[in-house]
Structure 1
Amino acid sequence: MSFQAPYPPSSLSPSPQNPGRLSPAGYNSRSGLAGLGLSSTTAGLPNKLGTFFEQDRPLPMYKDKPHFAPRRTAPRKKWRPLLALLGLSIIAYFFYNQPNIPRWQRSGGYDKGAALWNWMQTLDDSSASEKHVDWNARREKVREAFQVSWEGYEKEAWGFDQYNPVSGRNKNMIEGGMGWIIVDSLDTMIIMNLTSEVRHARQWISTSLQYNQDHDVSTFETTIRMLGGLLSAHYLSTQYPNLAPIKEDDVGASGEDLYIEKATDLADRLMGAFETHSGIPYASVNLNTSQGIKSHSDGGASSTAEATSVQLEFKYMAKLTGEAEYWKAAERVMEVVDQQEAQDGLVPIYIHPDNGEFKGNNIRLGSRGDSYYEYLIKQYLQTSQEEPVYKEMWDESLRGIRKHLIAFSKDANLMVLGERPAGLKKSLSPKMDHLVCFMPGTIALGATSGLPLSVARKSASWNQQREEEIFISRELMKSCWATYLNTKTGLAPEITHFVLGDEPVMMEDKYPEPSKSGSTFEMTSISQPLGSLPDGSEPWRKDVTVKSNDRHNLQRPETIESLFYMYRITGDDMYREWGWEMFKSFIKYTSVLEEKPPAIAVPGSAGTTWRIKGFTSLSNADIIPPTTRDNMESFWMAETLKYFYLLFSDRDFISLEEHVFNTEAHPFPRFKPSGDLKTGWQRKTSRKAEN
């Protein structure tokens, strides 16, 4: 029997454990544990630049290796066919007897689900009793939450694309499955150094994952999750060999190319989506035929965000394989979008693949608009800041955002990143999707290029515009945090509306652009932090409203993603503390419970009868106990828990200076463009803001 976790009572908590790890090869650690993101003290903000940017480190070139050919270093042995026949016999046996073979078995006698349940009872009192914050121990709790989520999936849904932890049901998105959860979560397991889990996933990918299904899939989702997950796993497993080490992944091993071979197969199939008159990809593609398919709605138009958020993946694919076709197809999309000369860098949320023209006037940074802006700055960073066209487009968009979309709430002066559903000349809607909360961290990333703020401020390129961007990122971060504080569970709804005055106060009204006014932007103008008055009232809540249809929480990562960037860039522990409060709320209110088998031991908790079997999204996050949707989103393990883990890690672990994360949180390395793999187009002119 299983059900959603109720509001837990208090009890004693087991002491958190923090096992030591080895540092990845070649990693510049400041302590014996820092190589895996662990440190004995709260992480500082060192200036760690010289080891990476002072040299152009080459990336491994998959094209130099046999394409889809087995590696042989010795003459073929006569006995190998007999071994192959034996292997096929074993596989056939397991295939026909699969229903009788347990797909999951808890290792040893330690039940992480029961231990996490016990710990959950102490959450109301734990923060007040902590005299010293042990971020390593907190990070370990995130790791345990991932392991519990993964074990539940292994037990009840192994190999399936969707998992319903409350009912224990599962299903595939298409016949044969896509590896939706396994591939998407793979690099999280590598980062968390979960060797046995990675080995199980790798085995499934090797023996069961194939992309020849006669079915259409989302071009965007398949690219960012599946292609991105495989590419990231390939990078991490070869460049960080001490993270979840598996012999088959070692450089030169016979299985080293597994992830990149699967990625190449998938990328070649996805390329058919780009075969349009304009170069704008179709919304979907048939995996078997590589035939692009128009959207079945919106007049056949593709989502602008989806069409322009596949570039990081295909550019890295091109760098690994040396195949320029991937690069050219993805970059052509950016050229076509820029040719439409969107006003003030703000693009409508639909674009036609037939002619490359925008459809409609809806301007927003939520769904269907968000990651277009994200990939502008990230393309610039991915290629080591050597493609300035994307930085120029990013800066132009930011000016448009501050001019048209940023306003302040009526009483509390909360910064609101709104929408213009009828175009820039029509009224502002004070609606913020949770998806918009990627922006605070992305703006900070763009302002500093991932450097610590204290270092970036000393650079010759730092100016008042960058200072203002840090201000905007801080204020938007606070507004996103307010959406969590505003619900009874402490988990944000999918959509939040803010109350504006009769005449909305825009960013331009409150803070004239420094470049135009000649004024000096001062950080002292930051509004007051959220809090309560002496009488216990919290006036800021009057400016935040949630409609009944918007109260669901989908385990989304955008706010914790921004907290990760904000902490690593500013060094402010406040962002870590906000993240810790969020994590505790997820544990308390999204847990799915089941009765614990009496034979499973839980150290220090002999009387425990319940265990957490997994975590679910919510239908209503504003009541206690919340109502569930009975679904574990794949990005819960791929993004949300990963960003929690990285937030509580040392800042040099998978550093921002050396990496760029795609929109599904899959880390890729930065590299220098060369040969045909560089910007193949130029803007006609730099467009100035229109009045």
Structure 2
Amino acid sequence: MSFQIPKNAPTFGNPQQRQLEDRLWASSGVTARSRGGPGGGAGGSAGVLGDVQDRVGGFLNPNRASLPMYKDKPYAYAPSGRARPVYRRKRVLGLITLVVLGLLWYTGAFADHHAAAVGKFNQWGWLTADSKAKGAKADWDKRRKLVVDAMELSWDAYERYAWGYDEFHPVTKSGRHMAPKGLGWIIIDSLDTLMLMNLTSRLTHAREWLSTSLTWDQDQDVNTFETTIRMLGGLLSAHYLSTEFPNLAAITDDGPNMPGEDLYLEKAKDLADRLMAAFDSPSGIPYASVNLAQFKGIISHDDLGASSTAETTTLQLEFKYLAKLTGEKDFWDKAEKVMELVDNNGVKDGLVPIYIYATTGEFRGENIRLGSRGDSYYEYLIKQYLQTNKQEAVYQDMWREALQGVRKHLVTYTEPSHFTIIGERQSGLDGDLTPKMDHLVCFMPGTVALAATGGLTEQEARKLPTWSKQDEADMQLARELMQTCWGMYKYMATGLAAEITYFHIADPPLPESAPHQAPADFDPLPDAEWHKDFDVKPQDSHNLQRPETVESLFYMWRITGDMRYRDWGWEMFKSFMNYTAVEEGGGFSSLNNANVVPPVLRDNMESFWLAETLKYFYLLFSPDDLLPLDKVVLNTEAHPLPRFDMGKLFKTGWERKPRDKEGKLVTQPKTE
């Protein structure tokens, strides 16, 4: 059963523009420079944030153009600067009248905006499209088909209005390039989703573009991390799926001994050869950016020249798999060396600051967090261990040490309801705990569960002789964090989480060992006590269509078999369908303000909406034998890669140095 696109009525409020967290992060993650021309492509202004970045960036390079590279960073929002078509402007007065009437009704019916539950504000009527009788069994096959419908709507809107462009603005029906000839940002990021959903005709069009239009030989600076996880990861995943599962969206051209057999791998190898320039730093820590045509690494223009720690340590799955495919050991060695260099800083309790210098290999500052710039360092510790079939114990050791550090320094409980949160130590481990969680932190419940079970079900893992009390405790932590992340959705008027949520905690914060018991369910009443624990600031109320919570729901469902995680995912999916859909066939958009109904659309579809969010919904509603977790690892952009044995060519080329209880390296006496 398909659904009708909800008719979102535009709003004409003025959403607050957020002050950028940790100053502007323009070139390290969000911008690129084009020496070969304007590089802006079509599509007009990138909006207020892009203007701010361009003005600040102009001190370094007046030609810098804004790019949507923000997988690992919070973002600021303001209404799009693009002009509406004339035919829409003629309707403004009428729409304003409708909106005012709607707001008057909304104010009376929902005095407390936290009570605006999706089920009570069914503006477009779609929420009942898959209603079932009380006690009846849900039809998960039908729900999975609805996710495919959403993917088709999203892809077809992009294909119709912005084909080949790296950005898609669904409200204004326009696109924009990130490089003179385009980088395939949306197309490549979506390849494996098209395959998994068996969307053959759309995949054929994507392959045609790759074959005839994509070139990496462009005089363009790109972010090392974002390009690796999205473009390199997307191509490698497409190669893996098309090779190992040829019946998924089967295309004759990519079959064995056919002309296009190695298309994905050839494009990946060409890109990786260029990205390798990032590792040519004095320390071996990769530079923040790379010029593709010049094969040249470029130091970060922000943060005093430091790279993001998460970005430098979230390249390993991709480069190590490419090394396995090609036999070119240099890909493996350069990426692996980074892990040794980071670990040789000797941090306390496995928790790393979020900046590191490519020039010296040393950390900058003491800011510790599992949100932006820190998150995927921890994610890739355990995933590197699993990728090589648990043959590299050093990464499991580092993960376990870090998780204990998280428990000791970052975990606390909210007041009055005792939800479990992971806070931040912005001034170091001896500084105050900030009760703040980026939505990005919600990767942790699923990752903790994956690490505890190795991808087996919890029932299977408990039968292993290696199962321990610590594994039981880790699973409990995963469940508690999952509850908190779901609460971040339930707290918002649209049922879609804010980019950042703050919490009320005790002073001093309760330790991880403190007794706690959060409510099992979220009371929908506007004066429910649990509302007191959460706090979303107006400047943080945007929703980027991020995947981290549905990602964790997918892992938790597969590992625990607890139906609540599927049910939560279905509620979340319905909220996305009802509050992010764009009128007139535009697909779906991120939101400037997710805490008002109707919501404030931002006019941008993130590529990870296709690569991650919809893919995780699809996997959550699919049978468990689709991408079994004990056979694959998904990179931080949800691109599935196979687990493999290292073989004779590859090995773990380093060992951890001894350290004291403070994490400082201990000098070993020389032996005669």
* TM-score interval, smaller chain: 0.7 to 0.9
Alpha-carbon distance between aligned partners in 2 of 1:426 and 1:414, rounded to the nearest angstrom:
22
What is residue 38 of structure 2 aligned with on the other side? none
The percent of aligned pairs where both chains have the same amino acid is 57
What is residue 204 of structure 1 aligned with on the other side? 209
What is residue 253 of structure 1 aligned with on the other side? 258
What is residue 663 of structure 1 aligned with on the other side? 636
1:483-511: CA deviation from partner (whole Å, max 9, x where unpaired)? 0000110000000000001221120344x
Alpha-carbon distance between aligned partners in 2 of 1:316 and 1:158, rounded to the nearest angstrom:
30
| Local SS of the residue matching 2:477 | helix
- 2:8 is aligned, of 5, 15, 19, to 5
**2:530 pairs with 1:540:** yes
| Local SS of the residue matching 2:290 | strand
Cα displacement (A) at 1:689 = 6.4
What is residue 349 of structure 2 aligned with on the other side? 344
**2:647 pairs with 1:642:** no
Cα displacement (A) at 1:254 = 2.0
Alpha-carbon distance between aligned partners in 2 of 1:659 and 1:493, rounded to the nearest angstrom:
30
Alpha-carbon distance between aligned partners in 2 of 1:630 and 1:125, rounded to the nearest angstrom:
26
- 1:426 is aligned, of 419, 423, 431, to 431
**2:577 pairs with 1:581:** no
Cα displacement (A) at 1:120 = 6.0
Instruction: Give the letter aligned to residue 340 of structure 2.
Output: E
- 1:528 is aligned, of 497, 519, 526, to 519
Instruction: Give the letter aligned to residue 550 of structure 1.
Output: D
What is residue 49 of structure 2 aligned with on the other side? none
Alpha-carbon distance between aligned partners in 1 of 2:277 and 2:131, rounded to the nearest angstrom:
53
Task: Tell me if structure 2 keeps the 8 A contact 1:3–1:166.
Answer: no
Instruction: Give the letter aligned to residue 192 of structure 1.
Output: M
Task: Tell me if structure 2 keeps the 8 A contact 1:4–1:590.
Answer: no
Alpha-carbon distance between aligned partners in 2 of 1:567 and 1:536, rounded to the nearest angstrom:
29
Cα displacement (A) at 1:249 = 1.4
- 1:484 is aligned, of 483, 489, 492, to 489
What is residue 59 of structure 1 aligned with on the other side? none
Task: Tell me if structure 2 keeps the 8 A contact 1:4–1:628.
Answer: no
Alpha-carbon distance between aligned partners in 1 of 2:649 and 2:299, rounded to the nearest angstrom:
30
**2:131 pairs with 1:123:** no
| Local SS of the residue matching 2:592 | strand
Task: Tell me if structure 2 keeps the 8 A contact 1:6–1:589.
Answer: no
Instruction: Give the letter aligned to residue 617 of structure 2.
Output: F
Alpha-carbon distance between aligned partners in 1 of 2:521 and 2:510, rounded to the nearest angstrom:
20
Instruction: Give the letter aligned to residue 8 of structure 2.
Output: A
Cα displacement (A) at 1:125 = 7.2
1:240-273: CA deviation from partner (whole Å, max 9, x where unpaired)? 0110000111122221000000000000000000
What is residue 52 of structure 2 aligned with on the other side? none
Cα displacement (A) at 1:674 = 1.9
- 1:613 is aligned, of 562, 586, 605, to 586
Alpha-carbon distance between aligned partners in 2 of 1:474 and 1:371, rounded to the nearest angstrom:
20
What is residue 401 of structure 1 aligned with on the other side? 406
**Aligned residue pair count:** 548
Instruction: Give the letter aligned to residue 406 of structure 2.
Output: I
What is residue 583 of structure 2 aligned with on the other side? 593
- 1:416 is aligned, of 406, 417, 421, to 421
Task: Tell me if structure 1 keeps the 8 A contact 2:164–2:184.
Answer: yes
**2:437 pairs with 1:464:** no
- 2:544 is aligned, of 554, 562, 565, to 554
Alpha-carbon distance between aligned partners in 1 of 2:484 and 2:660, rounded to the nearest angstrom:
31
| Local SS of the residue matching 1:395 | helix
Task: Tell me if structure 2 keeps the 8 A contact 1:567–1:573.
Answer: yes
What is residue 628 of structure 1 aligned with on the other side? 601
User: Which segments of 5 or more consecutive residues in structure 1 lack a partner in the other structure?
Assistant: 8-117, 511-524, 595-611
When residues 686 and 564 of structure 1 are mapped into structure 2, their CA distance, relative to the original with a 3 A threshold, is farther
Task: Tell me if structure 2 keeps the 8 A contact 1:343–1:690.
Answer: yes
Alpha-carbon distance between aligned partners in 1 of 2:526 and 2:206, rounded to the nearest angstrom:
50
- 2:503 is aligned, of 474, 495, 498, to 498
When residues 232 and 558 of structure 1 are mapped into structure 2, their CA distance, relative to the original with a 3 A threshold, is same
Task: Tell me if structure 1 keeps the 8 A contact 2:7–2:124.
Answer: no
| Local SS of the residue matching 1:143 | helix
Alpha-carbon distance between aligned partners in 1 of 2:214 and 2:182, rounded to the nearest angstrom:
8
User: Which segments of 5 or more consecutive residues in structure 2 lack a partner in the other structure?
Assistant: 11-121, 665-672
Alpha-carbon distance between aligned partners in 2 of 1:538 and 1:571, rounded to the nearest angstrom:
29
When residues 275 and 420 of structure 1 are mapped into structure 2, their CA distance, relative to the original with a 3 A threshold, is same
Cα displacement (A) at 1:527 = 3.6
Q: Structure 1 stretch 325-334 or stretch 167-176: which is displaced more?
A: 167-176
1:332-379: CA deviation from partner (whole Å, max 9, x where unpaired)? 000000000111000000000111000000000000000000000000
| Local SS of the residue matching 2:501 | strand
Alpha-carbon distance between aligned partners in 2 of 1:163 and 1:570, rounded to the nearest angstrom:
37
When residues 491 and 153 of structure 1 are mapped into structure 2, their CA distance, relative to the original with a 3 A threshold, is same
- 1:286 is aligned, of 284, 287, 291, to 291
Cα displacement (A) at 1:132 = 2.1
Task: Tell me if structure 1 keeps the 8 A contact 2:126–2:578.
Answer: no
What is residue 625 of structure 2 aligned with on the other side? 652
1:444-483: CA deviation from partner (whole Å, max 9, x where unpaired)? 0000001000010111111111101000100000000000
| Local SS of the residue matching 2:586 | strand
